């Protein structure tokens, strides 16, 4: 069944090519399509295009479909083009003429738009809580290993004293910045396009403010052309957020791969979460983190891919935009899996508490020696030259009694400050508003 069928037989290869992966990917949007339809029929009744009993009948039938989706039994037939067609076909088959009325005042264009925005809104919520869980795990590790000193590196050279407290906490706070980007994407996505139809509105007196409220959107895409132009742009905005998170996780994975190697020996993992070699019996490979690194690199390509699809497109709808689903949905799935495996494996990390016993790291305390002289009244540049001379002559003796007290340093990690920052960002999403609206919509 095709909603645009005019009685002309379409070539099979043309149909297969134009449908693409829609049937598979649209299964992910089925729940959101029902929600959009529930809001739409409520609005149609309010403007007199549906009778009260017709709306109630459609509402009940849509809830039955929603239940089928929740049970994992919803399917899109091979003869049906997409989720919108499948649901309308099911309603028409069950209800007859009443089912045919559901499409009044909308197009597949604004249907898929509202589906994608509702889907992205849900996915952002899941990712946000997964990131928050990872941040909590990182901050717990930061506190647990705050006393373990490790070398801090610049230019891949051992540079100054750091600690596992700093290292774990750094990624937690960086993820807080990534959450800010994700929140901006959420605000962009959380706008209602329903009623824009094919991108130019229509002659029905649609109440677009009502559907905005019913679906729990924060705002309305007021201009119908602007609503249509948000297709692709919304996905790209989310992809930049995904890429930002992936950059943080990929960097951490790279550190772990280095720190886990024998040349560093800073940390390790139990044998059951590492892999071995087919010929080298001693190997305990950090394959999980190597794959995290690789997959994060792929996610960081998403923005460029999505923007390439919309490059030089004029305003209005174009079939090119169908391809955005093929990128953003798997990208979200990848990041969700990465967050889950990162959190679970990090909770099993084994930290080496004797890293600094190795004399090769003695020189990272050179700045400590310089600063001690400065505190005694010696000008910094003179103290610097004196310590440099000691190093050159091989008589340098490190002062390992670290006195870092300022906020965010080895001796004052600021864990609670970072934790509050993360909580503040997460609370700013206001997920409860959308959740309550959808719950109320289903219960009408």
Is there a single domain that holds both residue 394 and residue 322?
A: no
Backbone angles phi, psi at 162, to 5 degrees: -125, -165
DSSP state string for 205-233: ---HHHHHHHTT-SEE--SHHHHHHTTTH
- In a domain, residue 331? The reply is yes
Q: What is the spatial distance between Cα 45 and Cα 51, in angstroms, rounded to a whole number?
A: 6
The token pair at 155 is 């230019």
Least confident of 17-31, 297-311, 327-341: 17-31
What is the model's pLDDT at position 114? Answer: 97
Least confident of 138-152, 196-210, 251-265, 271-285: 271-285
What is the model's pLDDT at position 277? Answer: 67
CATH of the domain at 300: 1.20.200.10
Is there a single domain that holds both residue 43 and residue 99?
A: yes
Is there a single domain that holds both residue 31 and residue 134?
A: no
Pair 133, 172: CB distance under 8 Å:
no
Is there a single domain that holds both residue 187 and residue 281?
A: yes
Is there a single domain that holds both residue 229 and residue 85?
A: no
- In a domain, residue 212? The reply is no
Is there a single domain that holds both residue 258 and residue 350?
A: yes
* Tens-place pLDDT, residues 374-418: 999 999 999 999 999 999 999 999 999 999 999 999 999 999 999
- In a domain, residue 184? The reply is yes
Is there a single domain that holds both residue 250 and residue 363?
A: no
For residue 430, is pLDDT > 70? Answer: yes
Is there a single domain that holds both residue 237 and residue 92?
A: no
What proportions of the chain, in percent to the nearest 5, are helix, strand and coil? Answer: 65, 5, 30
HSE value, Cβ hemisphere, 13 Å, CA-based, for 433: 14
Is there a single domain that holds both residue 282 and residue 352?
A: yes
Q: What is the pTM of this model?
A: 0.93
Is there a single domain that holds both residue 32 and residue 99?
A: yes
- In a domain, residue 155? The reply is no
CATH of the domain at 68: 1.10.275.10
- Residue 267, strand partner residues: 351
* Tens-place pLDDT, residues 99-120: 999 999 999 999 999 999 999 9
- In a domain, residue 154? The reply is no
Pairing type for strands 149-154 and 157-163 reads antiparallel
Predicted confidence band at 9 (pLDDT cuts at 50, 70, 90)? low
Which has more pLDDT, 345 or 277?
345
For residue 4, is pLDDT > 50? Answer: no
* Tens-place pLDDT, residues 199-228: 999 999 999 999 999 999 999 999 999 999
- In a domain, residue 266? The reply is yes
User: What is the domain count for the chain?
Assistant: 3
> C-alpha distances in angstroms, 4 versus 40, 103, 108?
20, 12, 10
Range of the domain at 401: 358-413
Write the CB contacts of 279 (distance below 8 Å, at least 6 apart in sequence): none
Is there a single domain that holds both residue 90 and residue 118?
A: no
Is there a single domain that holds both residue 326 and residue 368?
A: no
- In a domain, residue 296? The reply is yes
The token pair at 17 is 């090519």
- In a domain, residue 5? The reply is no
């Amino acid at each position: 069944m095709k909603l645009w069928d005019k009685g002309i037989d379409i070539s099979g290869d043309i149909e297969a090519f134009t449908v693409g992966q829609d049937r598979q990917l649209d299964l992910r949007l089925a729940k959101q399509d029902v929600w959009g339809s529930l809001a739409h029929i409520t609005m149609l009744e309010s403007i007199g295009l549906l009778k009260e009993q017709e709306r109630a009948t459609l509402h009940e039938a849509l809830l039955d479909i929603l239940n089928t989706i929740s049970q994992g039994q919803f399917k899109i037939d091979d003869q049906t083009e997409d989720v919108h067609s499948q649901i309308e076909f099911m309603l028409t088959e069950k209800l007859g003429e009443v089912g045919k009325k559901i499409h009044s005042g909308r197009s597949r264009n604004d249907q898929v738009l509202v589906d994608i925005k509702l889907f992205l809104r849900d996915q952002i919520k899941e990712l946000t809580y997964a990131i928050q869980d990872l941040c909590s795990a990182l901050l717990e590790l930061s506190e647990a290993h705050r006393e373990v000193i490790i070398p801090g590196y610049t230019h891949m050279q051992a540079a100054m004293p750091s600690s596992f407290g700093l290292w774990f906490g750094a990624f937690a706070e960086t993820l807080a910045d990534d959450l800010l980007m994700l929140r901006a994407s959420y605000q962009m996505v959380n706008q209602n396009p329903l009623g824009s139809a094919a991108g130019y509105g229509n002659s029905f007196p649609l109440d677009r403010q009502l559907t905005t409220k019913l679906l729990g959107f924060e705002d309305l895409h007021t201009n119908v052309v602007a609503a249509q132009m948000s297709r692709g742009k919304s996905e790209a905005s989310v992809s930049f957020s995904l890429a930002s998170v992936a950059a943080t996780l990929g960097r951490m994975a790279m550190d772990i791969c280095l720190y886990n190697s024998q040349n560093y020996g800073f940390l390790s993992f139990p044998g059951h979460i590492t892999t071995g070699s087919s010929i080298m019996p001693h190997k305990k490979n950090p394959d999980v983190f190597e794959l995290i690194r690789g997959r994060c690199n792929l996610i960081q390509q998403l923005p460029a891919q999505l923007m390439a699809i919309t490059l030089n497109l004029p305003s209005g709808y174009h079939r090119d935009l169908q391809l955005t689903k093929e990128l953003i949905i798997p990208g979200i799935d990848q990041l969700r899996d990465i967050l889950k495996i990162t959190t679970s494996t990090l909770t099993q990390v084994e930290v080496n508490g004797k890293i600094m016993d190795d004399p090769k790291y003695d020189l990272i305390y050179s700045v400590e020696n310089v600063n001690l002289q400065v505190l005694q009244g010696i000008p910094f540049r003179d103290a610097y030259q004196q310590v440099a001379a000691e190093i050159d002559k091989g008589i340098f003796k490190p002062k390992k009694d670290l006195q870092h007290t300022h906020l965010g340093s080895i001796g004052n990690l600021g864990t609670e400050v970072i934790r509050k920052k993360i909580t503040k960002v997460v609370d700013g999403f206001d997920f409860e508003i959308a959740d309550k609206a959808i719950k109320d919509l289903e219960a009408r």
